[in-house]
Amino acid sequence: MTKHRFSDTAVLLGRSLRHITRSVDTIITTSIMPVAFMLLFVYVFGGAIKAGSDSYVNYLLPGILLITVASGISYTAFRLFLDTKSGIFERFQSMPIARSSVLWAHVLTSLIANLISLVVVVLVALLMGFRSGAGVLAWLAVAGILILFTLALTWLAVIPGLTAKSVDGASAFSYPLIFLPFISSAFVPTDTMPGPVRAFAEHQPVTSIVNAIRDLFTEQPVDSDIWIALGWCVGLLVLTYILATITYRRKIA
């Protein structure tokens, strides 16, 4: 049964990836906004922002990476919405395939597409002067955190993708996620913020994740932030996976 599920997921993953290759503009579009933010803040606002770093792009990049993921998962909801409206789900149910493979194909497609977008953003950051002396293990740790974060948000995207009534509704949920890093340590240290804003910024997940990635890039001792970041990522992943699975079962019931 497990082998059957894996093979079905692989086939449907190939289908989703073919759609991606036929519309490469989705990956380009996903990368454009984070890159635009990076250019704007480094070359327009960077001189006026005191972030305690010699290179503002080094300080900025972790937050931009999270914005990239938040921007990319809106396409997961969009693709799921199109599948539900086209009747493809009903067609799959009439075929001898594992039902869970339909969702997993979309989720893995989102992961692959977002990883490509993240690589594009890092390459642009390198051109802008980003430098890191981090070793292989630190880079792998950053990749692991970003993968967990991407999976958590992707499973969250499954819910509006299955329940939205319109295309706009399917993708609009990502807007608050895109702007959440602005109220965190992604762009400026939280101690520069007024009291209530600072309290929110210091206790929301993005700040811990950004701080953990930043410490790994700058070869700083990794403190409790990395465990808090992992706790947020794993907790959100488990919660969104359960909610998405329940929503899917109700949808196909």
C-alpha pair distances (Å), 194 with each of 180, 200, 201, 206: 17, 10, 10, 18
Burial class, 2, CB count within 10 angstroms (exposed 0-12 / middle 13-18 / buried 19+): exposed
Would you say 161 and 170 are in contact if contact means Cβ atoms under 8 Å apart? yes
Q: What pLDDT score does 148 carry?
A: 96
Residues in the chain where the model's pLDDT stays below 50:
1-2
- Of 146, 159, 145, 172, the closest CA to residue 242 belongs to 159
SS3 of 53, please? Answer: coil
Closest by CA to 141, choosing from 215, 206, 55, is 215
